[in-house]
Amino acid sequence: MALSPDDALQPSPLSIQQTALLLLLSVLAAVHVGQWLLRQRQQPRSSPPGPFPWPLIGNASAVGPALHLSFARLARRYGDVFQIRLGSCPVVVLNGESAIHQALVQQGATFAGRPPFASFREVSGGRSMAFSPYSEAWKAQRRAAFSITRAFTTRQPRSRRILEGHVLGEARELVAVLVRNSAGGSLDPAQPIIVAVANVMSAVCFGCRYDHDDAEFRELLSHNEEFGRTVGAGSLVDVMPWLRLFPNPVRTTFREFQQLNRNFSNFVFEKFRRHRESLRPGADPRDMMDAFILSAEGTAAGGSGEAGARLDMESVAATVTDIFGASQDTLSTALLWLLILFTRYPDVQARVQAELDRVVGRDRLPRMSDQPNLPYVMAFLYETMRFTSFLPVTIPHATTASALVLGYYIPKNTVIFVNQWSVNHDPVKWPNPEDFDPARFLDEDGFINKDLANSVMIFSVGRRRCIGEELSKMLMFLFISILAHQCDFKVNQNEPSKMSFSYGLTIKPKSFKIHVSLRESMELLDSAVQKLQDEEACQ
Contact 175, 212 (CB under 8 A): no
pLDDT at 536: 57
187 in a structural domain: yes
Query: Exposed e or buried b for every residue in 186-215, given b needs 16+ CB within 10 A?
Result: bbebbbbbbbbbbbbbbbbbbeebbebeee
DSSP 8-state class, residue 151: I
**pLDDT score of 1 more than 50:** no
- Please give the Cα distance from 119 to 238 (Å, whole number): 7
- Least confident stretch, 226-230, 249-253, 504-508: 226-230
Rounded distance, CA 213 to CA 194, Å? 12
300 pLDDT higher than 50: no
The answer to which of 92-106, 238-252, 262-276 has the lowest mean pLDDT is 238-252
Distance CA 192, CA 74 (A): 39
Q: How far apart are CA 219 and CA 504, in angstroms?
A: 19
End-to-end Cα, the chain, rounded Å: 100
Each residue's pLDDT tens digit, 22-45: 555 555 555 555 555 555 554 555
Summarised one tens digit per residue, pLDDT across range 95-127 is 999 999 999 999 999 999 999 998 888 888 888
Helix (H, G, I), strand (E, B) or coil at 396: coil
Helix (H), strand (E) at residue 22:
helix 13-42
pLDDT, mean over the chain: 85
Instruction: Please report, for residues 72, 153, 168, 474, the alpha-carbon distance to residue 160 in angstroms, rounded to integers and kept in the order given.
Output: 40, 6, 12, 10
At 536, which helix (H) or strand (E)? helix 523-538
Helices (H), 43-156: 60-63, 67-78, 97-104, 118-122, 136-150
Q: What is the pLDDT of residue 10?
A: 42
Does 466 carry a binding-site annotation?
A: yes
210 belongs to a structural domain: yes
The string of pLDDT tens digits covering residues 452-475 is 999 999 999 999 999 989 999 999
How far apart (Å, rounded) are the C-alpha atoms in residues 454 and 429? Answer: 12
Q: Does a structural domain hold residue 179?
A: yes
Per the domain annotation, does 41 fall within a domain?
no
In a domain, 203, yes or no: yes
Residue 95, beta-bridge partner list: 419
Beta carbons of 517 and 486 less than 8 angstroms apart: no
Residue 73 scores a pLDDT above 90:
yes
pLDDT range class, residue 301, cuts 50, 70, 90: very low
Average pLDDT of 246-271?
86
Supply the CATH number for residue 506's domain.
1.10.630.10
How much of the chain exceeds pLDDT 90, in percent?
51
- Position 354 in a domain: yes
What domain range is 353 assigned to? 60-538
Task: Quick: pLDDT tens for 486-536.
Answer: 999 998 877 777 778 888 888 988 888 999 999 987 777 777 767 766 665
Residue 11 lies in a domain: no
Decide if 339 contacts 514 (C-beta within 8 A): yes
In this prediction, residue 5 carries a pLDDT of: 39
Mean pLDDT of 146-160: 81
In the chain, the number of structural domains is 1
Answer yes or no: is 46 within a domain: no
The structure's pTM equals 0.86
